[in-house]
Amino acid sequence: MPQTYLYQHELALRWRVSPRTLERWRWQKTGPIYTKIGGKVLYAIRDVEDYEKRRRAQTHSSILGNWRAA
């Protein structure tokens, strides 16, 4: 099955963040996995969705942890 990719600006629109935020995350190595081809940064949809699932789980856990500690 062929891989579907998003360009940086498409992912920025999807997440409602600036393209510069995605650049910073790449520099900090905190964002989703990316591929660079011909000078263009591409994000595989599968990797984006995996990242979203991991972030949702981490956010959910941290919220519950804070509520229990209070």
DSSP assignment string, 20-57:
HHHHHHHHHT-S---EEETTEEEEEHHHHHHHHHHHHH
Cβ-count burial of 8 within 10 angstroms (0-12 exposed, 13-18 middle, 19+ buried)? middle
Look at residue 3 in the predicted model and tell me its pLDDT: 77
Pair of tokens at residue 24: 């910073």
- pTM > 0.85: yes or no: no
Helix (H) or strand (E) segment spanning residue 32: none
Q: What's the pLDDT tens digit per position in 27-61?
A: 999 999 999 999 999 999 999 999 999 888 666 65
What is the per-residue pLDDT across 11-23, written as a single tens digit (0 to 9) for each? Answer: 999 999 999 999 9
